[in-house]
Amino acid sequence: MNLAIPDKISNYIGGSLQAPLGLRYLDNINPATGEVYSQTPDSDITDVEEAVGAARGALPGWSSTPVETRFRILNRIADLIEENLDVLALAETTDNGKPLWLSKSVDIPRASSNFRFFATGIMHFASESHQMEHAAINYTLRQPLGVVGCISPWNLPLYLFSWKIAPAIAAGNCVVAKPSEVTPMTSYLLSQICIEAGLPRGVLNIVHGTGPGCGSAIVAHPEIKAISFTGSTRAGREIASVAAPMFKKLSLELGGKNPNIIFADCDWDKMMRTTLRSSFSNQGEICLCGSRILIEESIYEKFKHEFVQRAKKLKVGDPLLDDSRQGAIVSKVHYDKVMSCIKLAEDEGGTVLAGGTSVIVPGRCEGGYFIEPTVIEGLERHCRTNMEEIFGPVVTLQPFKTEEEALLLANTSEYGLSATIWTNDVSRAHRVASQVQSGIIWVNCWLLRDLRTPFGGMKNSGTGREGGWDALKFFTEPKNVCIEL
């Protein structure tokens, strides 16, 4: 198949690519140039109604399709993603502003891994049985939920979209999905891939549009039994307020303000290399980036000096060039937000040690939204800069004297998504890991992901873990059958 980036994106409903019923479109902007490069459907409740109808129609057939057939189709989707790596990576970079090499080496390969993982997972998915001595046997049937809604953000567009869709359809559900209106292109190309892979009509329906315009219609639709959402804590709260009183199953993967705790006994070179990545990869627009760097006092000055020098050397440039370490911020709105956060940090008494300003990238990217990697120190732990998610290339440094103080700083947050701990003291690593209030903890590494493990946050970072069996369990209804012996 020959995939190409079109001027106009279509919805994917009932197996067909079609215009939004209201014929309204949104501009799709390349953040590296600031120019409009295509149009995205501005769908509304009528498109969602049609998508739900298509999904309901497909449900009896798909939920009774043998798992081996589902396995084959999902694997075929993964094959086609891999065969179309170049165009998908270019589409993602054009939508999102991230470096092309990052899209090619991480985001798109991980999207195909998601389909492969859940294709295989459903072949091995087993339900539980419990014997009550000589009294009874219980077994748990795990049946598809029905029609489910999947809503995803802009930072890892295809990866996070497929992370929801793959387990949902593998488990026999039919899906109404909405990607972010800021980065719709890869999910549009995915709809063409699904057609080519032979996914039956209506099993996956992709409706493009805004959160208020069509995301909220998915959340409120009475026929949609579950919502799997990744995005901001603000939107997660709104979604929960609508879906919870309807008793929908909810998985919410939300914001973060992740601590990166560095003890003096760490492996210095590995820590320094990885901390640069965990701070600034994808312009800091990964929910798992460490945005609060906590450093043991005895190494604070040494760390600060080397980290700042290295952050200043990261090249901010055209995302299409191989030597650009940082690309563009995803949109003008988000660029303005990040710049206002830097200003707030200064108003709160912080000292900007590196970056802090926007960057003009000459040539084709002159109109793009670029910000230097920014390092700030001197802020007190409760200030807004240390409490609120910025979601950009901005980190703060805070010294600590003791393990207790490190934990106090780390846990001073309403969020609890991930944390990184750097130490060669095994006992301390276990001790701190058990006390940091985060759903995902990396010791002496960052962003290593085993898809079998539960993924998600504590506190205001979300509820309902996704990953491995947890995702397949989320997308199935457990029904216990008890037989008296």
132-150 b/e with 16+ CB inside 10 Å = b? eeeeeeeeeebebbbbbbb
413 binds ligand NAD (CB under 6 A): no
Residues 277-316 that bind ligand NAD (CB under 6 A): 287
Which of 150/406 has CB closer to ligand NAD? 150
Backbone angles phi, psi at 92, to 5 degrees: -65, -45
Q: Is 178 left (phi over 0), alpha (psi -120 to 50) or beta?
A: beta
420 binds ligand NAD (CB under 6 A): no
Residue of 190, 219, 365, 471 that binds ligand NAD (CB under 6 A) = 219
Partnered with residue 206 across adjacent β-strands are 12, 177
Which of 173/183 has CB closer to ligand NAD? 183
Q: 341 an active-site residue?
A: no
47 binds ligand NAD (CB under 6 A): no
Residue of 47, 92, 95, 181 that binds ligand NAD (CB under 6 A) = 181
464 binds ligand NAD (CB under 6 A): no
Which of 271/417 has CB closer to ligand NAD? 417
Nearest approach, Cβ of 138 to ligand NAD (angstroms)? 34
239 binds ligand NAD (CB under 6 A): yes
CA distance 50 to 221: 12
- 318 residue type, one letter: D
457 binds ligand NAD (CB under 6 A): yes
Which of 193/235 has CB closer to ligand NAD? 235
Judge contact between 109 and 380, C-beta under 8 A: no
Which of 294/338 has CB closer to ligand NAD? 338
151 binds ligand NAD (CB under 6 A): yes
Binding mask 351-390 for ligand NAD (x = CB under 6 A): --------------------------------------x-
Q: How far is CA 330 from CA 30, 97, 133, 151, 303, in A?
A: 8, 6, 59, 18, 30
Which of 108/254 has CB closer to ligand NAD? 254
Length of the chain (residues): 485
Round to the nearest angstrom and report the end-to-end CA distance of the chain.
57
Q: 287 an active-site residue?
A: yes
154 binds ligand NAD (CB under 6 A): yes
For 255, the enclosing helix (H) or strand (E) is none
Beta-sheet pairing, 224-230 with 147-151: parallel
DSSP conformation letters of 322-378: TT-SB---S-HHHHHHHHHHHHHHHHTT-EEEE--SEE---GGGTTS-EE--EEEE-
- Active-site residues, by number, are 253, 287
Residues near ligand NAD (CB under 6 A) are 151-155, 160, 178, 180-181, 210-211, 215-216, 219, 230-232, 235, 238-239, 253-256, 287, 389, 391, 417, 457, 461-462
